[in-house]
Amino acid sequence: MHPVRKQRLLVVLAIIITSSAAVGLITFALRENMNLFFPPIDIVGGKAPLNREIRLGGFVDKGSVQRDSNSLAVRFAIGDGQHSVPVVYTGILPDLFAEEQAAIAKGKWDGTIFTATEVLAKHDENYTPPEIRDSMQKMNGPKPAMHPK
C-alpha cells in the first residue's frame, strides 16, 4: 500500500473511532440525565429500577398523608387511581402539596417503599394565586349577577 494512502486510511479510521466514542458518551450522558417519571403502575409492576434515583409521579391519595408530630417526616401515598406507592419524605413539603393533587417525588424505590429526597407539587394551568385573583377583582369590580328573563 502506498504510504500516502496508508496515512489517509489511518486518519479516516481515527476520525471514525473518535466520533463514535463521542456519540456513545453523549448518548450515555443523555440517558442518565433524563427527567422522566415513573407512574405508580410501572413502579408496582416492577418496571422501575430498584435502589436507583428515579422520579415517581401521580396524585396524592386521599387520607394517606401522615405527619410525624416530632419531626418533619411525612408518609403519604402516590397513586394513579388503581395502584398506590407508599412514600416517606423528611423535609418541608411545597405549599401546593395536598391530597388528591398531582405530585412528583424524587428518590429511591426499594421494592416496598419509596424514600423521597425531594417532592414537587404540581397545579393545573387554571391556577391563579389568590393575591392576583383578588387584585383583578378589585380592578374590574364585582361582576353583575345574571337575572333570568
Is pTM beyond 0.85? Reply is no
Amino acid symbol at 70: N
pLDDT in tens, 4-13: 899 999 999 9
Element (H, E) at 13: helix 3-32
- pLDDT confidence tier of residue 132, bands split at 50, 70 and 90: low
pLDDT in tens, 41-84: 889 888 888 888 899 988 899 999 999 989 999 999 998 888 89
pLDDT, residue 149, reads 44
Q: Is pLDDT of 139 > 60?
A: no
Q: Percentage of residues in the chain with pLDDT exceeding 70? A: 79
Task: List Cα–Cα distances, 123 to 22, 47, 133, 143, in angstroms.
Answer: 39, 27, 16, 26
Q: Which of 35-44, 47-56, 89-98, 114-123 has the lowest mean pLDDT?
A: 35-44
